[in-house]
Structure 1
Amino acid sequence: MRPEPTAEFRHRTVEAPAGRIHLVEQGTGPLVLLVHGFPESWYSWRRQLPALAAAGYRAAAIDVRGYGRSSRPAATDAYRMLDLVEDNLAVVRALGEESAVVIGHDWGSNIAAASALLHPAVFRAVGLLSVPYAPPGGPRPTDVFSRIGGAEQEFYVSYFQEPGRAEAEIEPDVRGWLAGFYAALSADTMPAEGDPDPHFVAHGGRLRDRFPAGELPAWLSEDELDVYAAEFERTGLTGALNRYRNMDRDWEDLAPHRGAPIEQPSLFVGGTLDASTTWMADAVDAHPRTLPGLSASHLPEGCGHWIQQERPDEVNRLLTDWLRTLQD
């Protein structure tokens, strides 16, 4: 599998609270803003940009602050959710639009949801991939994550909290780490049931100790891995990891919106083999209440975490079919 031709991709940077946000766009029509997750970039949407453009939309995939060619503020607390939402607002305005449909994957799903929750007049509909919507509230996040795993292992979110700790594991071999991380969460290469779970770290160990060794997942070529690796070798991982280091700040910042539903039209798509979807099954079940504008929840069988890359044709069909309903 080779990377898709990028001749029609238009790269640009726009001013935003982060400093600058880099984005790649294709097509003309109503704006669809695409927001990636960890550890990815605009390139995660390379197979959606042409499909959305062909369907009559102006698709714009951003590098979230801290990633790629976007600005990387030095302060850890510059990566709180409120700041990322403001970046999305700035992108819409810089593109000369008054509103957009926002679609996110992984952390991008949370960012898209928060954008829709806080600015419903701008983000008129929201699509969530892999991570379902859970309204703000509940116990403090780091308290919850610190209890997951028990005495023998540590949950990866807790592992990511201390500045520099995960960077020390990843940055000496960015390409190898990314290959293992992508494989660990892909349907065709993830560890078999009963093997050590790669979402956890043995005390004194590394996250990569539980990554599968061997070939890349079917959706990822060596050339495509090179694209991801080159970006993170240049930028490092701190900006990306700082998203995890602001979960408690987000919990405090969003306290006024505890329990709040998102009223706009919405869509959820999550793979049946994706822990981000299955661990949050209760949130998916609650979508009729928390996402009253939900069109549908789609759960592709046998699909892992990198859903729009593992199942591009299926995801493209689901997205374009849903987007058409917004114009009826």
Structure 2
Amino acid sequence: MRSRSEPATALRHRTVRTPAGRLHLAEQGTGPLVLLVHGFPESWYSWRHQLPALAAAGYRAAAIDVRGYGRSSRPAATDAYRMLDLVEDNVAVVRALGEESAVIVGHDWGSNIAAASALLHPGVFRATGLLSVPYAPPGGPRPTDVLGRLGGPEQEFYVSYFQESGRAEAEIEPDVRGWLAGFYAALSADTMPARGEPDPHFVARGGRLRDRFPAGPLPAWLSEEDLDVYAGEFERTGLTGALNRYRNMDRDWEDLAPHRGAPIEQPSLFIGGALDASTLWMSDAIDAYPTTLPGLSASHLLEDCGHWIQQERPDEVNGLLTDWLAAQKLTSM
């Protein structure tokens, strides 16, 4: 709770009870609730530029640590990180904050989590903003069957590389800070490998993901102090909870089978980076938005922007988010 001397606009940290056990969040501002969900490998801190901007615009912004990350609980079982569980965590956060509904905004895996939350609980999540990863309805072939064919005999797609418990951890754990710096740089507009260089989304057979990370300075959006924050969290928690999200993709495919092909009807917004592989590879999903996101207000591709869009281009993302929220004419419940 906020102390009597603490202004309503100050950043506040708290934990709430969810099916995960304990879930940490940082919140700022008062007004209609906007729930912010990060991706891999990040934390609530990924929304550090959006929290004050949303608060200044008249919203109560709450950025969570997804289960397995930061100060939130880290269940031991791999299958405790399936999508259905993460959605129920989000519902519990809304209730714990004393609200009946919220707008949910997610980036990277958080975009998938936000979309699933809106799909499964339309009465709780009245609008959804999706950053970097486009919405594709549940369905299609089993994910690992598709992923296993990517890359051919000489290399392996990074999502497949993450599937085996302990494999990626063995690469990352000896130098968490260095690995994170390389991963962030590999997907940032100003430091990503040039066209024709080895693609850091793939691992050479028998190699490591970090073998294809760019060498050189940090991306412009990431200071040494920012990197210290991220590294400090993962040096404390390890990466297994975060990686377990990837290890539940087939379970999610089975769990969400009743919703195959289902659109998200609520008001929605998409923002992607024009240089982000997520937007390039999923261009067909963006083209399908008139069917899959019938409530879409706008779809934006930011030129010369990579994957970490709300950190690479915070002012533009803040403007798009606050304009979209204002158009929804939200009121506190």
TM-score by length of 2: 0.96
User: 2: CA distance between counterparts of 1:153 and 1:8?
Assistant: 48
Residue 63 of structure 1 aligns with which residue?
Answer: 65
User: 2: CA distance between counterparts of 1:90 and 1:300?
Assistant: 33
User: 2: CA distance between counterparts of 1:168 and 1:308?
Assistant: 30
Structure-to-structure mapping, 1:26-65, within 5 angstroms: 26-65=28-67
User: 2: CA distance between counterparts of 1:82 and 1:137?
Assistant: 15
Residue 264 of structure 2 aligns with which residue?
Answer: 262
For structure 2, which runs of at least 5 residues remain unmatched after alignment?
Answer: 1-8
Equivalent residue for 1:169, pick from 154, 171, 191: 171
Whether 1:87 and 2:96 are equivalent positions in the alignment is no
Shift of 1:196: 0.1
The code of the aligned residue for 1:216 comes to: L
Shift of 1:8: 2.0
Task: Report sequence identity in percent.
Answer: 88
Shift of 1:198: 0.1
Equivalent residue for 1:126, pick from 114, 125, 128: 128
Whether 1:220 and 2:222 are equivalent positions in the alignment is yes
Q: Secondary structure at the match of 1:296?
A: strand
Deviations 1:163-214 (A, max 9, x none): 0000000011000000000000000000000000000000000000000011
Residue 207 of structure 1 aligns with which residue?
Answer: 209
Shift of 1:273: 0.2
Shift of 1:239: 0.1
Residue 321 of structure 2 aligns with which residue?
Answer: 319
User: 2: CA distance between counterparts of 1:96 and 1:171?
Assistant: 39
Shift of 1:81: 0.0
Residue 289 of structure 1 aligns with which residue?
Answer: 291
Shift of 1:9: 1.1
TM-score by length of 1: 0.98
Residue 114 of structure 2 aligns with which residue?
Answer: 112
User: 2: CA distance between counterparts of 1:16 and 1:61?
Assistant: 15
User: 1: CA distance between counterparts of 2:317 and 2:190?
Assistant: 18
User: 1: CA distance between counterparts of 2:262 and 2:232?
Assistant: 40
Residue 304 of structure 1 aligns with which residue?
Answer: 306
Q: Secondary structure at the match of 2:61?
A: strand
Q: Secondary structure at the match of 1:270?
A: strand
Residue 198 of structure 2 aligns with which residue?
Answer: 196
The code of the aligned residue for 2:33 comes to: L
Q: Secondary structure at the match of 1:86?
A: helix
Residue-pair matches, total: 322
User: 1: CA distance between counterparts of 2:80 and 2:95?
Assistant: 21
Deviations 1:17-36 (A, max 9, x none): 00011000000000000000
Q: Secondary structure at the match of 2:273?
A: coil
Residue 6 of structure 2 aligns with which residue?
Answer: none
Residue 280 of structure 1 aligns with which residue?
Answer: 282
User: 2: CA distance between counterparts of 1:254 and 1:268?
Assistant: 22
Equivalent residue for 1:138, pick from 136, 140, 152: 140
RMSD of Structure 2 on Structure 1 (CA): 0.7
Residue 244 of structure 2 aligns with which residue?
Answer: 242
Deviations 1:235-273 (A, max 9, x none): 000000000000000000000000000000000000000
Q: Secondary structure at the match of 1:299?
A: strand
